[in-house]
Copies of this chain bind each other. A is one copy, B any other.
């Protein structure tokens, strides 16, 4: 069986790149929300409870770099900005939905494991 080289796994592997992007904390939430239509930052902040301005901007810039999100600025006062998925971004909705669907089907297992892990972490603390 052929080994998977370091470079292959670290750099070339588009799969891991994609997984790393998709697992950034607010990425799935943002992509899902934007899949419902273009949104203003304020709306996104209200929709994603707990996200800070910093993380919102940072994650959106990140997604812009990936060509997944497009930013439109309306030159008015007060400022008006809108974010929307690009065509590439739209193509990313489906894989996330697949993962989401799978996670829902197996949510029992996942939930069980998660509470176990939480418990063991806490009992290891003191």
Question: A residues within 8 Å of B by Cβ?
Answer: 1, 3-6, 8-20, 22-23, 25, 28-29, 33, 36, 43, 46-50, 65-67, 88, 91, 94-96, 98-100, 102-104, 106-107, 109-111, 113-114, 116-117
Contact = CB atoms under 8 A, between A and B. Distances in A.
Contacts of A95: 98-99, 102
B28 A103 contact: no
A105 to B, nearest CB: 9
Number of this chain's copies in the complex:
2
Nearest to A103: B14
Nearest to A37: B1
Nearest to A92: B102
A18, A28, A29, A107, most chain B CB atoms within 10 A: A18
B15 A19 contact: no
